[in-house]
Amino acid sequence: MIKKIKNDKTLLILSIIIVVVAILLVSRIAYAFLTMRVNDVISKVHLNSDLVDELKFKIGNPLSLDITTNSLKEGEPAVMVSSTNQVTLKANESDNQASYTYYVYIDIPENTFEYTKNTDTPELLLKVTGPDGEVTSLSGLEYKTQNEISGFDITTHQGLIEVAANFPITSNSSMTNTIQEWTFNLYYLNLDHDQSANYGNHIKTRIGLTKNQAK
Protein backbone atom coordinates (compact mmCIF):
# COMPACT_ATOMS: atom_id res chain seq x y z
CA MET A 1 0.00 0.00 0.00
CA ILE A 2 2.81 2.39 0.93
CA LYS A 3 4.59 1.53 -2.31
CA LYS A 4 1.41 2.21 -4.28
CA ILE A 5 1.01 5.60 -2.60
CA LYS A 6 4.61 6.52 -3.37
CA ASN A 7 4.09 5.68 -7.04
CA ASP A 8 0.82 7.59 -7.26
CA LYS A 9 1.40 11.31 -6.83
CA THR A 10 -2.33 12.00 -6.32
CA LEU A 11 -2.57 9.47 -3.49
CA LEU A 12 0.66 10.82 -1.99
CA ILE A 13 -0.67 14.37 -1.94
CA LEU A 14 -3.98 13.21 -0.48
CA SER A 15 -2.16 11.22 2.20
CA ILE A 16 -0.07 14.24 3.16
CA ILE A 17 -3.19 16.41 3.37
CA ILE A 18 -4.95 13.81 5.55
CA VAL A 19 -1.93 13.61 7.90
CA VAL A 20 -1.69 17.41 8.16
CA VAL A 21 -5.45 17.70 8.87
CA ALA A 22 -5.21 14.96 11.49
CA ILE A 23 -2.29 16.73 13.19
CA LEU A 24 -4.21 20.02 13.20
CA LEU A 25 -7.30 18.33 14.68
CA VAL A 26 -5.29 16.61 17.42
CA SER A 27 -3.48 19.89 18.20
CA ARG A 28 -6.77 21.82 18.48
CA ILE A 29 -8.30 19.14 20.71
CA ALA A 30 -5.19 19.06 22.92
CA TYR A 31 -5.12 22.87 23.10
CA ALA A 32 -8.80 23.03 23.99
CA PHE A 33 -8.35 20.39 26.70
CA LEU A 34 -5.29 22.15 28.09
CA THR A 35 -7.09 25.50 28.10
CA MET A 36 -10.00 23.95 29.98
CA ARG A 37 -7.62 22.47 32.57
CA VAL A 38 -5.76 25.76 33.02
CA ASN A 39 -9.01 27.69 33.36
CA ASP A 40 -10.23 25.10 35.85
CA VAL A 41 -7.09 25.49 37.95
CA ILE A 42 -7.31 29.30 37.81
CA SER A 43 -10.95 29.11 38.81
CA LYS A 44 -10.12 26.92 41.79
CA VAL A 45 -7.29 29.20 42.88
CA HIS A 46 -9.60 32.21 42.69
CA LEU A 47 -12.30 30.30 44.56
CA ASN A 48 -9.86 29.39 47.32
CA SER A 49 -8.71 33.00 47.64
CA ASP A 50 -12.34 34.07 47.96
CA LEU A 51 -12.73 31.70 50.92
CA VAL A 52 -9.87 33.23 52.94
CA ASP A 53 -10.69 35.56 55.84
CA GLU A 54 -8.19 38.28 56.83
CA LEU A 55 -7.46 38.31 60.56
CA LYS A 56 -4.58 40.63 61.41
CA PHE A 57 -2.86 41.82 64.57
CA LYS A 58 -1.12 45.19 64.81
CA ILE A 59 1.06 45.50 67.90
CA GLY A 60 1.72 49.00 69.23
CA ASN A 61 4.82 50.30 70.96
CA PRO A 62 5.99 48.40 74.05
CA LEU A 63 5.51 50.23 77.33
CA SER A 64 8.71 51.38 78.99
CA LEU A 65 9.43 53.76 81.86
CA ASP A 66 12.70 54.98 83.40
CA ILE A 67 12.33 57.28 86.38
CA THR A 68 14.92 59.96 87.16
CA THR A 69 14.99 63.01 89.41
CA ASN A 70 13.54 65.03 86.52
CA SER A 71 10.72 62.64 85.63
CA LEU A 72 8.20 63.76 88.24
CA LYS A 73 6.98 67.30 87.58
CA GLU A 74 5.49 69.31 90.39
CA GLY A 75 1.71 69.43 90.16
CA GLU A 76 1.46 66.54 87.70
CA PRO A 77 -0.24 63.40 89.05
CA ALA A 78 1.89 60.94 87.11
CA VAL A 79 4.28 60.14 84.28
CA MET A 80 2.41 58.20 81.60
CA VAL A 81 3.23 56.13 78.50
CA SER A 82 0.63 54.57 76.22
CA SER A 83 0.31 51.85 73.58
CA THR A 84 -2.60 51.26 71.18
CA ASN A 85 -2.98 47.84 69.56
CA GLN A 86 -5.44 46.67 66.88
CA VAL A 87 -7.13 43.49 65.78
CA THR A 88 -8.77 43.63 62.33
CA LEU A 89 -10.97 41.12 60.55
CA LYS A 90 -12.32 41.11 57.00
CA ALA A 91 -14.58 38.29 55.83
CA ASN A 92 -14.09 36.27 52.66
CA GLU A 93 -15.91 37.18 49.44
CA SER A 94 -17.81 33.91 49.30
CA ASP A 95 -20.28 34.37 52.16
CA ASN A 96 -19.20 37.70 53.77
CA GLN A 97 -19.15 36.06 57.20
CA ALA A 98 -16.22 35.49 59.54
CA SER A 99 -15.92 34.80 63.25
CA TYR A 100 -12.78 34.27 65.36
CA THR A 101 -11.51 34.48 68.92
CA TYR A 102 -8.10 35.61 70.14
CA TYR A 103 -5.97 36.23 73.24
CA VAL A 104 -4.49 39.43 74.66
CA TYR A 105 -1.40 39.43 76.88
CA ILE A 106 1.00 41.84 78.48
CA ASP A 107 4.35 40.50 79.63
CA ILE A 108 6.62 42.29 82.11
CA PRO A 109 10.10 40.79 81.76
CA GLU A 110 11.83 43.61 83.66
CA ASN A 111 10.61 45.63 86.63
CA THR A 112 12.94 47.03 89.29
CA PHE A 113 10.42 49.34 91.00
CA GLU A 114 9.48 49.06 94.65
CA TYR A 115 6.97 50.51 97.09
CA THR A 116 8.42 53.61 98.75
CA LYS A 117 5.66 53.91 101.37
CA ASN A 118 3.61 50.68 101.76
CA THR A 119 1.94 48.05 99.60
CA ASP A 120 -1.40 49.84 99.92
CA THR A 121 -0.01 52.83 98.04
CA PRO A 122 0.64 51.88 94.40
CA GLU A 123 3.39 53.57 92.41
CA LEU A 124 2.81 51.88 89.05
CA LEU A 125 -0.73 51.59 87.68
CA LEU A 126 -1.70 49.84 84.44
CA LYS A 127 -4.95 50.93 82.79
CA VAL A 128 -6.37 48.60 80.14
CA THR A 129 -9.15 49.61 77.75
CA GLY A 130 -10.60 47.14 75.26
CA PRO A 131 -13.47 47.05 72.75
CA ASP A 132 -15.98 46.70 75.62
CA GLY A 133 -14.50 49.53 77.68
CA GLU A 134 -12.09 49.60 80.60
CA VAL A 135 -10.98 46.28 82.05
CA THR A 136 -11.32 46.31 85.86
CA SER A 137 -10.66 42.69 86.77
CA LEU A 138 -7.54 40.63 86.05
CA SER A 139 -6.44 37.48 87.80
CA GLY A 140 -3.70 38.09 90.37
CA LEU A 141 -3.83 41.89 90.21
CA GLU A 142 -5.55 44.50 92.37
CA TYR A 143 -7.50 47.33 90.78
CA LYS A 144 -6.77 50.55 92.69
CA THR A 145 -7.24 54.31 92.48
CA GLN A 146 -4.51 56.78 93.44
CA ASN A 147 -4.11 60.45 92.48
CA GLU A 148 -7.54 60.12 90.78
CA ILE A 149 -6.01 57.57 88.39
CA SER A 150 -7.40 54.03 88.31
CA GLY A 151 -5.70 50.87 87.14
CA PHE A 152 -4.03 47.65 88.18
CA ASP A 153 -1.24 47.87 90.74
CA ILE A 154 1.85 46.43 89.06
CA THR A 155 4.42 48.27 91.22
CA THR A 156 6.56 45.16 91.73
CA HIS A 157 4.87 42.78 89.29
CA GLN A 158 6.79 40.66 86.79
CA GLY A 159 5.68 37.97 84.37
CA LEU A 160 2.89 37.23 81.91
CA ILE A 161 -0.59 38.71 82.41
CA GLU A 162 -3.55 37.30 80.46
CA VAL A 163 -5.75 40.29 79.67
CA ALA A 164 -8.38 38.50 77.54
CA ALA A 165 -9.04 34.88 76.59
CA ASN A 166 -11.08 33.76 73.58
CA PHE A 167 -12.17 37.33 72.90
CA PRO A 168 -14.65 37.30 69.98
CA ILE A 169 -14.41 39.28 66.75
CA THR A 170 -16.80 38.99 63.80
CA SER A 171 -17.09 40.48 60.33
CA ASN A 172 -20.02 40.79 57.91
CA SER A 173 -18.07 42.38 55.08
CA SER A 174 -15.39 41.46 52.55
CA MET A 175 -14.76 45.14 51.84
CA THR A 176 -14.51 46.81 55.25
CA ASN A 177 -12.46 45.71 58.26
CA THR A 178 -13.95 45.17 61.67
CA ILE A 179 -11.49 46.94 64.00
CA GLN A 180 -11.00 46.28 67.71
CA GLU A 181 -8.55 48.31 69.80
CA TRP A 182 -6.71 47.54 73.02
CA THR A 183 -5.09 50.50 74.76
CA PHE A 184 -2.59 50.18 77.61
CA ASN A 185 -1.69 53.20 79.75
CA LEU A 186 1.16 52.84 82.22
CA TYR A 187 1.44 55.43 85.02
CA TYR A 188 4.20 56.10 87.49
CA LEU A 189 2.46 58.11 90.19
CA ASN A 190 3.76 61.35 91.69
CA LEU A 191 3.09 60.82 95.38
CA ASP A 192 3.31 63.21 98.33
CA HIS A 193 6.29 61.50 99.97
CA ASP A 194 9.93 60.77 99.17
CA GLN A 195 10.15 58.45 96.13
CA SER A 196 13.89 58.75 95.56
CA ALA A 197 14.32 54.98 96.14
CA ASN A 198 12.85 54.50 92.66
CA TYR A 199 15.13 56.97 90.88
CA GLY A 200 17.08 55.00 88.28
CA ASN A 201 14.58 52.14 88.29
CA HIS A 202 12.74 50.99 85.19
CA ILE A 203 10.01 48.75 83.77
CA LYS A 204 9.73 47.15 80.33
CA THR A 205 6.73 45.35 78.88
CA ARG A 206 5.74 43.37 75.80
CA ILE A 207 2.19 43.23 74.42
CA GLY A 208 0.87 40.15 72.67
CA LEU A 209 -2.19 39.52 70.47
CA THR A 210 -2.46 35.89 69.36
CA LYS A 211 -4.94 33.38 67.95
CA ASN A 212 -3.71 30.71 70.35
CA GLN A 213 -3.25 30.62 74.08
CA ALA A 214 0.27 31.28 75.30
CA LYS A 215 2.02 28.27 76.84
Q: Band of the pLDDT at 33, cuts 50, 70, 90? A: very low
3 state DSSP class of 198:
helix
Q: Exposed, middle or buried: residue 35 (CB in 10 Å: 0-12, 13-18, 19+)?
A: exposed
- What does each C-alpha distance from 133 to 127, 136, 139, 183 come to in angstroms? 11, 9, 18, 10
The pLDDT value recorded for residue 118 is: 95
Tell me the whole-structure pTM to 2 decimals.
0.75
Query: Which helix or strand (DSSP H or E) is residue 56 part of?
Result: strand 54-58
Question: Best-predicted range by mean pLDDT among 17-21, 25-29, 68-72, 109-113?
Answer: 109-113
The pLDDT value recorded for residue 25 is: 52
pLDDT in tens, 147-187: 999 999 999 999 999 999 999 999 999 999 999 999 999 99
DSSP 63: P
Distance of CA 83 to the CA centre of its chain: 15
The pLDDT of residue 103 is above 90: yes
CB 149 within 8 A of CB 78: yes
Q: What are the residue ranges spanned by the domains of the chain?
A: 2-50, 54-210
The pLDDT value recorded for residue 38 is: 38
pLDDT higher at 72 or 110: 110
Overall average pLDDT of the 48-73 stretch? 86
Mean pLDDT in the chain?
84
